[in-house]
Chain A
């Protein structure tokens, strides 16, 4: 069983606040890390696929960084809006002879207007 931890479990912020959360994963046999956003009653939506140590990716107000040597990724949201309210999931993919994908339990973000 691969340990993929996300923190915090849930987060309430005010509109306009910036926020960040963490995904921790094993630092060996890294293949890729995915971030997804999952709004209630919708499908998970891909945010980023990160494959290289030191990767920094950005999409609008959301950005992510990756440190494969120490086994963590941060997701940042700048100037949170109510429509950012969702569960943010990371998925760690271990490489090797066969792929092993493990999701974290997610961070539930609520942005209050």
Chain B
């Protein structure tokens, strides 16, 4: 238990669906992150929020839309995804951005059919 909770743990969605991934931390951290782990590829950083402001967007397609309503919650809204978007999506938080250790959630295993 890392203190970072992600829901749902598994998600199967069609290409025309809209769904959201949720991440929650009550560690008092100021930075939150979305990562993607595709098969046989390194972990990829998607988005970074610091104090609820987005500070990094690694050229992620617009079909992924993050939202950080407060410092404890982070969402990833998904719409019109492709089968190649199937992956493990991990959320993480850290006390400060980038130079303190990150605590990861257990991830959402997403399958797009």
Contacts and interface: CB of A to CB of B under 8 A. Distances in A.
Contacts of A101: 45, 48, 56, 98
Given A34-B101, A42-B106, A98 B55 contact: yes
Interface stretch (A14-22, A64-72, A102-110): A102-110
A42 B105 CA distance: 9
Contacts of B48: 99, 101
Nearest to A6: B42
A104 B42 contact: yes
Interface residues of B, number: 23
Contacts of B101: 34, 46, 48-49
A26 interface: no
Contacts of B110: none
A63 interface: no
Main secondary structure of the interface of A (DSSP, over half): strand
A31 B103 contact: no
Contacts of B89: none
B97 to A, nearest CB: 7
A93 interface: yes
A43 B99 contact: no
Given A43-B104, A43-B106, A44-B90, A93 B99 contact: yes
Interface string A82-113: 00000001010100001101111110000000
A46 B99 CA distance: 12
Contacts of A93: 98-99
B44 A103 contact: yes
A31 B43 CA distance: 19
Interface of A: 4, 31-32, 34, 42-46, 48-49, 51, 89, 91, 93, 98-99, 101-106
A-B pairs with the 6 shortest C-beta distances?
A: A46-B101, A43-B104, A103-B43, A103-B42, A32-B99, A44-B104
